[in-house]
Amino acid sequence: MKTIYVDNNATTKVDPLVVDAMLPFFSEQYGNPSSMHDFGGKVAQHIQEAREKIAALIHASPEEIVFTSCGTESDSTAIWATISSFPNKKHIITSRVEHPAVKNLVEHLGKKGYRVTFVPVDRQGNLDLDALYGQLSDDTALVSVMWANNETGVIFPIDEIARAIKERGIVFHTDAVQAVGKIPVDVSRHPIDMLSLSGHKIHGPKGIGVLYIKKGTKFSPFLIGGHQEKGRRGGTENVASIIGLGKAAELAADHLKSDWQKVADLRDRLEAGLLRSVPQSIVNGNSDARLPNTTSISFEYIEGESILLMLNELGICASSGSACTSGSLEPSHVLRAMGVPFTAAHGSIRFSLSQYNTKEEIDYITEKLPPIIERLRQLSPFWNQGKPAESSMLTGAECPI
Ligand SMILES: Cc1ncc(COP(=O)(O)O)c(C=O)c1O
C-alpha cells in the first residue's frame, strides 16, 4: 500500500540531499569540533558553514545562531534565559494557541509565582492585538507569540507585534518552528529578539533546533556546561544533524522562491474538494493569513480519531485537531480558544502538505474521505437524532462523541 503523507506539520521527510550531506559526519569526519587537532578543526569549519546557511535563510548574522536539540529546547531557552536576565520582572505574555513547548512551560511558571497572560484569539484564530498591547507593563519580562500556528496554519502579524513590544523595551520571542521555510522570515526587518526553529519541520533531521538571539539581547544559558556555542549552550555539538540542518536550510531558501505556490494550490484543491462533497464541513482559521501547506477541517458530529483510523487503513497519514489523552476526549486547546463548537472541534482533521505531495494523492483523498465521513455519521447518534444548532456549545462532559 502506498503511503500518502499529509502530516508535514508533525514532521517531514528528510530530503535525500540532506542525508547525503550528513553521512560523512558519522564515520569519516567524526572529530570533536572543539579539539585542538586539525581533524576536529575541519569539522568546526563545516559547522560554521551550516551556521551561515541557516543565518542566510532567516537573514541573521551567523553569530546570532545557537544550535539546540529541538524547537522545544529553543523555546525553553528563550523563556528561561529572559526570566533569569530580568529577575525582578514577574509577568509573561503569550497567546492562547501556542504549541505545548511554550504553553506548558509558561503554565508551569504560572504555578511558580509568575503572572501569565494568555492573549485570546477570535473565531478565525487571529490574535487580539489590543488585548495584547493593553497588557504590556513595566513588570512584563517577555512576550512570546508564535509566528504561525501548527494546527490551523494561521499566521500572526509578527512585524506589527514585535514593533509594539519593542517600543516598550520588552523582550520579544517568537516560536517560528512552523513558519521558517514555508513563508519568508527576515529577522533583519523585524525587531525580534529571539526566534525558534526546528530541523525536522524543514526536511532536516529530528533532534536539532536553532535559537536565533539578536546581537545585544540579554541572555543567560539554559544548558550550562562547556564553552560550545560561545558559552550560550553547553554540550558537544550534534555535528551530523547540524550539517543536515544547514543543507535543509539551503534547500528551503531555494524552495521559498518557487515551490510553495504549487503546495498552496494542492492544499486549496483538497480543501475545495472536501468542502464541496461533505456537508457540514468547515475550515478552521483565517484563510487569508495562513501557511501555504496547512488546512484544518472540521467534519461535524463525528470523532476525528475515527476518521484518522479509517484514513490510516488506506495509507493516508493526517492528524486530528484533538488530543485524546487517558480516555478523556478533549478537543485541541487551539480550536477551543477559537470558540469552535465541541461538535465540530472533535471532528477536526489537519492536513499539512509538502512539495513532495502530488495532485493524484490529493484527488485520492478527496475521493476516499467523503464516504468515510458518511459512514461514520450513519453510526453517530448525534447525526441521526437531528443535529443540534450550530450555536449549542456542549461541554466535554456532555459531548457524546
Ligand atoms: C509551533 C511549534 N513549536 C514547537 C514545536 C516543537 O518542536 P520540536 O519537535 O523540534 O521540539 C513544534 C513541533 O510540532 C511546533 O509545531
Short-list 72, 387, 80, 156, CA closest to 92: 80
Short-list 53, 45, 36, CA closest to 247: 53
Q: What is the pLDDT of residue 401?
A: 35
- Counting ligand 1 atoms within 8 A of each CB, the residue from 98, 149, 177 with the most, and so the one to mutate, is 177
Q: Which amino acid is at 6?
A: V
Count of residues in the chain? 401
3-state secondary structure of 178: coil
Residue of minimum CA distance from atom 9 in ligand 1: 71
Residue 250, pLDDT above cutoff 80: yes
Ligand 1 centre distance from Cα of residue 72 (Å): 6
What stretches of 278-358 show up as alpha helix (H) in DSSP?
Answer: 304-313, 333-337, 342-345
Least confident of 2-16, 132-146, 179-193, 322-336: 322-336
Short-list 136, 149, 138, 153, CA closest to 175: 149
Residue with cell 503546495: 263
The whole-angstrom separation of Cα 42 and Cα 359 is 44
- Residues at CB less than 6 angstroms from ligand 1: 70-72, 75, 99, 101, 146, 150, 175, 177-178, 198, 209
Give the DSSP H or E segment for 241. Answer: helix 239-277
Q: What is the pLDDT of residues 47-82, one digit of tens each?
A: 999 999 999 999 999 999 999 999 999 999 999 999
Whether the CB-CB separation of 196 and 174 falls below 8 Å is answered with: yes
Give residue 235's region: left, alpha or beta (phi > 0; psi -120 to 50). Answer: left
Task: Give the number of the atom of ligand 1 that is nearest the alpha carbon of residue 150.
Answer: 16
Q: What is the pLDDT of residue 321?
A: 66
Q: What is the pLDDT of residue 398?
A: 36
- Counting ligand 1 atoms within 8 A of each CB, the residue from 8, 69, 72, 182 with the most, and so the one to mutate, is 72
Give the DSSP H or E segment for 273. Answer: helix 239-277
Q: 365-368: long-range contacts at Cβ-Cβ below 8 A with a sequence spacing of 24 or more?
A: 365/4, 365/6, 365/270, 365/273, 365/274, 365/311, 365/316, 366/269, 366/270, 366/273, 366/274, 366/277, 368/311, 368/314, 368/316
Q: Which CA distances in Å does 296 have to 182, 226, 311?
A: 17, 43, 15
Residue 337, pLDDT above cutoff 90: yes
Short-list 245, 198, 230, CA closest to 22: 245
Q: What is the pTM of this model?
A: 0.94
C-alpha cell of 327?
480516555
Average pLDDT value for residue range 202-206: 98
The whole-angstrom separation of Cα 197 and Cα 200 is 9
Residue 292, pLDDT above cutoff 50: yes
Residues 6+ apart with CB under 8 A from 144: 75, 78, 79, 92, 93, 94, 98, 102, 106, 172, 173, 174, 175
Residue 380, pLDDT above cutoff 90: no
Residue 386, pLDDT above cutoff 70: no
Average pLDDT value for residue range 214-237: 96
Catalytically active residues, by annotation: 324
Residue with cell 484514513: 311
Ligand 1 centre distance from Cα of residue 124 (Å): 22
Q: What is the pLDDT of residue 85?
A: 97
